[in-house]
Amino acid sequence: KPPADQPAYGSFVLSAAYRDQGSSAMTPLTGQALKILRYPVLYPRNAEFQKGCRLVTTPSREFLIEGDGSYFGFTEIDLSGINMIRLSLFAEKWKGVAGGYVECYLDSLQGQFIGKSQMVEVVEDRTRVKEGFSLSGKHIKGSHDIYFVFKNPKAAAHQLLMEVYAVEFNK
């Protein structure tokens, strides 16, 4: 549990190191490990990989996807025990967005294909759409880089497709 004076979200960094005494016939044995435990909701503005993404800061923050083939991704996400990845998306008409769909890949933009979302349609009001990618039955374990690629071949070259609010990893 996070300490009482800390927010409930964030990351834990666990570090361990070992060194024994060794012996006259053997040098000391050493070992070191570092593990980062992230909160299961990640914000795309913190993504390590980004292309065609725009962060707009007004009184709020909006992470906007611009153009067909734009993407963002995170490094070293431990997917052990994760059954579903959900994106919270918005496609509001007043922003002039085109909508589109999202594809999910592991380890590279040409890596293991996880799935394709439904078409995110443009709507009049601010309606959150949650699109998910199931990992059930795919036997994915361990840490992977994860990429979300946004598609709409009918969109103009620099047209906004949608806003991404968050990425949730669920068991």
Task: Report pLDDT digits (tens) over 108-139.
Answer: 999 999 999 999 999 998 889 999 999 998 88
| pLDDT tier, 7 (very low <50, low <70, confident <90, very high otherwise) | confident
Which conformational region is residue 22 in: left (phi greater than 0), alpha (psi within -120 to 50 degrees), or beta? left
Percentage of residues in the chain with pLDDT exceeding 90?
75
Instruction: Give 81 or 2, the one with higher predicted confidence.
Output: 81
Task: Band the pLDDT of 12: cuts 50, 70, 90.
Answer: confident
| Whole-Å CA distances, 13 to 32, 127, 132, 155 | 13, 35, 28, 41
Mean per-residue pLDDT of the chain: 92
156-166 b/e with 16+ CB inside 10 Å = b?
eeebbbbbbbb
Judging by beta carbons within 10 Å of its beta carbon (0-12, 13-18, 19+), is residue 132 exposed, middle or buried? middle
